[in-house]
Amino acid sequence: MILPIRAFGDPVLRKVGKDIDKDYPGLQELIDNMFETMYSANGIGLAAPQIGLDIRLFVIDVTPLAEDEDYEDIKDELAEFKKVFINARILEESGEEWKFNEGCLSIPDVREDVKRKGTIVIEYYDENFVKHTETFSDIRARVIQHEYDHIEGILFTDHLSALKKKLVKGKLTKISQGDVNIGYKMRFPK
């Protein structure tokens, strides 16, 4: 089932997510719905707060990037990178910060350069509640950091300079009021 994505201004996007356990009601159906919702909006990541749930869950599928010539050197890794992250905790961020033009399904039509560290170590449970501690770099680390921010109540626009924040303020106000033309299901703050 395709769920409405919460728009900028919805209070749930600012909540720090709560841990869940393997008995969370309808967990597998929720995960399936999150992937379906993400695909319907042409996204590569979606966090639970974006569908109105303040829990520590996000899904990622960067397999479409394997076809992008910018990622030729890691296309095999990207081609198989579809994951579920439950109760994730980033343990370490390292490497040089690099800029990348980010966007967000909750903030349509706004894209800005964001600096993030190049490598992360993250601890999480998968959809079967098997615990993992893994290191990721490149675009995979970037997408994980973006979705991880969501479960911490942080949006990519929070990483912008004061000037950039001023420049996008009008667009963000319009989004929160539902004054945006989008091609997927959204729910706007009242």
CATH number where 103 lies: 3.90.45.10
Q: Which strands form 82-104's sheet, in the order they lie side by side?
A: 45-47, 57-61, 82-104, 107-125, 131-137
Task: Confirm whether 80 is domain-assigned.
Answer: yes
pLDDT by residue (tens digit) across 59-110?
999 999 999 998 999 999 999 999 999 999 999 999 999 999 999 999 999 9
Task: Confirm whether 56 is domain-assigned.
Answer: yes
Domain that holds residue 145: 5-176
Q: Residue positions in the annotated binding site for Fe cation?
A: 104, 146, 150
Task: Confirm whether 48 is domain-assigned.
Answer: yes
H-helix segments, the chain: 27-40, 75-78, 138-151, 162-176
Task: Confirm whether 99 is domain-assigned.
Answer: yes
First to last CA, the chain: 23
* Number of domains, the chain: 1
Structure tokens belonging to residue 18:
């709560």
Catalytic residue selected from 69, 134, 147, 152: 147
Task: Confirm whether 68 is domain-assigned.
Answer: yes
Task: Confirm whether 120 is domain-assigned.
Answer: yes
Q: How many CB atoms lie within 10 A of CB 180?
A: 17
pLDDT number for residue 46: 98
pLDDT number for residue 68: 92
Residues of the chain with pLDDT under 50: none
Query: Is 29 in the active site?
Result: no
